[in-house]
Structure 1
Amino acid sequence: MTGTAASVGKNARWLAGAQAAKIVIQLVGLGILSRLLGPSDFGVMALAIVVTSLAGLLRDMGTGPAIIRARELSATMVNSIFWVNMAMATAVALLVVVLAVPIASLFDTAPLAHLLYALSLTFPVISFGAAHQALLERESRFHITTRADVLSYTGGLCAAIVAARFGMGAKSLVLQAIVQATLSSLQMFMASPWRPSLSWDASEIRRIFSFSSNLTLSNLVLYLIRNTDSMIVGKTLGAVALGPYSLAFRIMLSPLQNVSLIASKALYPVLSTHQADPERLGATWLESTSFVALITATLMGGLIALCEPFVTVALGQRWGEVARLLPWLAPVGFVQSVLSTAPVIFMVKGRTDVLLKLNIGMAGLHIACWLIGARWGVSGVAAGYLVATIVSAPLYLVTTARLAGLPVARLLRALGIQSGLGISVFTVTFAARSALEPFALPPLALLLVAGLCGGLYGVWHVGRFSPDHMFALRRTFHLAS
């Protein structure tokens, strides 16, 4: 095994364990919260997240990846980055407070303002630990960052469940975000030996300005893409309609994004040390992207076939609208999980300017499709999402492949194989479900038996038609050391 593959595998092992734990915890937590809270609570919180998810983008203003990528890193640079992050996060928090009431009026949802007041606290709290986390990831100390991630996520979810049990409604979801952000930053600060001082040098910021500014703007455009659909649904169809739509994303897209996060986070610090080796860059990125596609194609094929019993078991009978949205959004999740590994190549090669241009084009296409789809309700918005994703994905992938020095035909062939796997898993799982329906099994039994059939077929399919991917999977999670 090459040193690069071993390093990526070691990082991926820690990240995979953490993300798997978070997926399980999230599904269990959502199952509990969906029975304690109503659609309007989730809908109002989804509107708040449209605003406050900026915290995730502005936590380091694109400086975290710059810390990881830098060949030479001085203490003065890290200090300068830390104070820029804190200043910007505080300014954004104050801006959210000032605009809370106008934003609530825009969506005709008065309780939204109070949620935004509280959630603004998460901006400086998250930024406080951003530089520490970047330093840990630069050294590939993912055993520390992943542990902190799981513990903070679990703590936030437990706080939300307790608060919801005592009737706090949507405020319980706010408490979850605050507790999670606080626990995460505290753990990063304690784990990293670096401590901020008052030293400052503007020239250090100028050194990374082009890279970081383009990356930040690119992330802001992605934020627009990922949240404008919720804004359209909330504005045109109301918070109650937004509840099922947001839950469909949290159940389906969040786990898939977690899978892709494993690959991109594991790759970035390792490939940053091989910036001048395009052959290694391309081959390693393709292997990781194929692995992501392998997992997500299997999951989405099974989910589409079993969307009704899955939603009934996970959320309850009253969330039937979620099941009607999943067949549209599941293919979106598959494509997005593959695309989400691509920015690593743009960052490693220092071409965040190209990434920004691509994301701007994608944003325009997605917004147009959502506005057209909104005429047919929530399902129309979901269908518009699928159309925009399918149309924009080829250009994104081709540009990434060329930048990585990878033959486009090789990339398309690999993704075509994984798409065929997803279709095959769907066919087998749906056939098993159809064969079992005359027996009138409970939803849980139907889900388990048909899902097991699809899962076993998926394992056989990979071993039979893609033995190299099966070997890569075993090597990544079992042989890496």
Structure 2
Amino acid sequence: MSLQKKAISGVSWTFIEQFGSKVIGFVVQIVLARLIAPDEFGLLGMILIFNAVGNSLSDSGMSQSLIRSDEPDENDFYTVFSINFAVSFILYIIFYFLAPYISIFYEQPRLTDLIRVYSIVIVINSLFTIQKTKLTHELNFKHQMKAQLPALFLAGITGVVLAYMNYGVWSLVYMELVTGVSLTLIYYHQTRWIPKLRIKRDKLKIHFDFGYKIALSGIIGRIATNVFPLVIGKYFSAAMVGYYTRAFTLKEFPVVTISNTLDKVVYPLFAKIKNDNILLKNAYQKIQILSLFVLSSIMLLLIVTAEPLFGFLIGEEWLPAVPYFQILCITGVFYPINKYNSNILKVKGRTDLYLKMAVWSNLLTLVGIALTVKFGIIPLILSQVIVTIIRTLINIYYANKFINYPLQEQFIDLLKTTLPGIISFAIVFSFIYFNSTLNENLYVIQLIVYGASFSLVLVLIHILFKTRSLKEIMNIYKLVRQKS
């Protein structure tokens, strides 16, 4: 099978996996939001930062090195597995003893037991990371889909049943544990790859030299992302943490589904053409325009329909999260630009620049928090938008060094891709602003009217001006038709 056909096949299976996973997660989260109070969600939101950092540290970025490698052998896989497992176990011990002090910091005694149980997920995840990495390196995304969907379905059922039995925040914790255990068992069954605790120094040096910078970048990024619930929990309230995490989770549904669908295929694909800069730029440009078109359209649609969407899906008690959600949706538009510029640095082996970029961009996040937290939660969340724009400029600056895709050219592509959505948004949002009559009985009607109006205007603009985004989608459609 050619590389192009593998890419199309990979995107297809990954989309099924990502979309199916997010649909399952979305439905489960809606049900849980009606069974679990916002302050209970907030408790878990307070400790997400610790598990996010733990997962980044346990992998050490070496899985990315395996994917990038041309022909990794068993010793490569054994070495990375051994390091991942050892680090994850050490991290669990550290979090176990830190738990009481974290509880004191938040003034929430319940967090001690929550952290000690929830952190087990870090160890469990290390058990199947290599099996998943092997499948990714082989561009075998069909097996990953067959693992992910059953595991999430089983975990979702577990979470809903426990929530119905009034387990509260523990429903969310046990749901994550069931996910990890299920994925481990399924991946072991699929790959038949049995790990060995074996470390080869030469292999460790190769993968660690590449991976530790990725790991540090991931840690910095996850801290910057998850520091907001920590700050909100410390300076505001657990309920506000719940509102923020719910808004963030709903925003992530389309962003992660679409971006991860492409990224799981794009990164190994970029790695295979990393020595041809012209081909690499062309592939990058097409993928960025496609993902930016889809994401910007969806994000603007979600901003338009945010209030009836929250009221209909999860109830009026979550309506205070609407402005958080609308602001966060703006950051989602820039996600593919940052992601794919970062991928260029990784496939080129310039993890030093990748780390430098992460340090600068996430330092800006901390500066934004420090400058805005005293003014309230809305300015605090708005700082994410400003930092995201600056981060985008930094990413473009570094990636341009390798594929000759400068800021001016990227900006023109960005503007042409998003302008139809912005115009559609302005028209529909103006109509909503001057005709706002919201009550519970109109949620469904408003969702249909606002959503249909935005979509219709958007499609008409793309057809009228024959935009490049529309042409790229049509080209992909033709390729899929030829493949079938």
Q: Is 1:472 aligned to 2:472, yes or no?
A: yes
CA distance in 2 between partners of 1:461 and 1:152 (Å): 41
CA distance in 2 between partners of 1:443 and 1:5 (Å): 44
Q: CA deviation at 1:391?
A: 2.6
Q: Return 121-130 or 427-436, whichever deviates more.
A: 427-436
- Note the residue ranges of structure 1 that are not aligned, 5 or more in a row: none
Q: CA deviation at 1:51?
A: 1.1
Q: CA deviation at 1:230?
A: 1.6
Where does residue 108 of structure 2 map in the other structure?
109
CA distance in 2 between partners of 1:288 and 1:38 (Å): 40
Pairwise mapping of residues 457-468 of structure 1 onto structure 2 (< 5 A)? Answer: 457-468=457-468
Q: CA deviation at 1:41?
A: 0.6
For residues 67-107 of structure 1, the C-alpha deviation after alignment (integer angstroms, 9 at most, x for no partner) is: 11112312112111111111111111111111111111111
Where does residue 355 of structure 2 map in the other structure?
356
The answer on whether the counterparts of 1:97 and 1:116 sit within 8 Å (CA) in structure 2 is: yes
The answer on whether the counterparts of 2:361 and 2:390 sit within 8 Å (CA) in structure 1 is: no
CA distance in 2 between partners of 1:43 and 1:439 (Å): 27
Q: Pick closer, same or farther for the CA change 1:246–1:80 going to 2, 3 Å.
A: same
Q: CA deviation at 1:225?
A: 1.1
Where does residue 215 of structure 2 map in the other structure?
216
For residues 363-392 of structure 1, the C-alpha deviation after alignment (integer angstroms, 9 at most, x for no partner) is: 111111122221222212111111222233
Q: Pick closer, same or farther for the CA change 1:463–1:142 going to 2, 3 Å.
A: farther
Q: Pick closer, same or farther for the CA change 1:304–1:439 going to 2, 3 Å.
A: closer
Secondary structure (helix, strand or coil) at the match of 1:267 reads helix
Question: What value does the CA root-mean-square deviation take over the aligned residues?
Answer: 2.1
Q: Pick closer, same or farther for the CA change 1:41–1:67 going to 2, 3 Å.
A: same
Q: CA deviation at 1:434?
A: 5.5
Pairwise mapping of residues 293-312 of structure 1 onto structure 2 (< 5 A)? Answer: 293-312=292-311
Q: Is 1:453 aligned to 2:453, yes or no?
A: yes
Q: Pick closer, same or farther for the CA change 1:472–1:434 going to 2, 3 Å.
A: same
Q: Pick closer, same or farther for the CA change 1:154–1:343 going to 2, 3 Å.
A: farther
Q: Pick closer, same or farther for the CA change 1:48–1:438 going to 2, 3 Å.
A: closer
Q: Return 84-93 or 151-160, whichever deviates more.
A: 151-160
Q: Pick closer, same or farther for the CA change 1:3–1:217 going to 2, 3 Å.
A: same
Q: CA deviation at 1:438?
A: 6.3
Where does residue 119 of structure 2 map in the other structure?
120
Secondary structure (helix, strand or coil) at the match of 2:278 reads helix
Amino acid across the alignment from 1:6: K
Secondary structure (helix, strand or coil) at the match of 1:462 reads helix
The answer on whether the counterparts of 2:55 and 2:88 sit within 8 Å (CA) in structure 1 is: no
Q: CA deviation at 1:293?
A: 0.8
Where does residue 230 of structure 1 map in the other structure?
229
The answer on whether the counterparts of 1:58 and 1:89 sit within 8 Å (CA) in structure 2 is: yes
The answer on whether the counterparts of 2:106 and 2:233 sit within 8 Å (CA) in structure 1 is: yes
The answer on whether the counterparts of 1:436 and 1:446 sit within 8 Å (CA) in structure 2 is: no
Q: Pick closer, same or farther for the CA change 1:474–1:6 going to 2, 3 Å.
A: farther
TM-score (norm 1): 0.94
Amino acid across the alignment from 2:117: A
Q: CA deviation at 1:173?
A: 0.4
Secondary structure (helix, strand or coil) at the match of 1:183 reads helix
Q: CA deviation at 1:141?
A: 0.4
Q: CA deviation at 1:336?
A: 2.5
Amino acid across the alignment from 1:265: K
Q: Pick closer, same or farther for the CA change 1:239–1:434 going to 2, 3 Å.
A: closer
The answer on whether the counterparts of 1:64 and 1:134 sit within 8 Å (CA) in structure 2 is: yes
Q: Return 191-200 or 79-88, whichever deviates more.
A: 191-200
Where does residue 28 of structure 1 map in the other structure?
27
The answer on whether the counterparts of 1:160 and 1:176 sit within 8 Å (CA) in structure 2 is: yes
Where does residue 13 of structure 2 map in the other structure?
14
Q: CA deviation at 1:55?
A: 4.2
Q: Is 1:204 aligned to 2:166, yes or no?
A: no
- Note the residue ranges of structure 2 that are not aligned, 5 or more in a row: none
TM-score (norm 2): 0.94
Q: Return 12-21 or 439-448, whichever deviates more.
A: 439-448
CA distance in 1 between partners of 2:155 and 2:471 (Å): 37
Where does residue 383 of structure 1 map in the other structure?
382
Aligned residues: 480
CA distance in 2 between partners of 1:439 and 1:76 (Å): 62
For residues 278-311 of structure 1, the C-alpha deviation after alignment (integer angstroms, 9 at most, x for no partner) is: 1111111121111111111111111112211111
Pairwise mapping of residues 140-179 of structure 1 onto structure 2 (< 5 A)? Answer: 140-179=139-178
CA distance in 1 between partners of 2:242 and 2:351 (Å): 35
The answer on whether the counterparts of 2:10 and 2:265 sit within 8 Å (CA) in structure 1 is: yes
Where does residue 317 of structure 2 map in the other structure?
318
The sequence identity of aligned pairs, in percent, is: 20
Amino acid across the alignment from 1:178: L
Pairwise mapping of residues 28-427 of structure 1 onto structure 2 (< 5 A)? Answer: 28-427=27-426
The answer on whether the counterparts of 1:294 and 1:418 sit within 8 Å (CA) in structure 2 is: yes
* Structure 1 runs, 4 residues or longer, greater than 6 Å off: 438-441
CA distance in 1 between partners of 2:171 and 2:238 (Å): 17
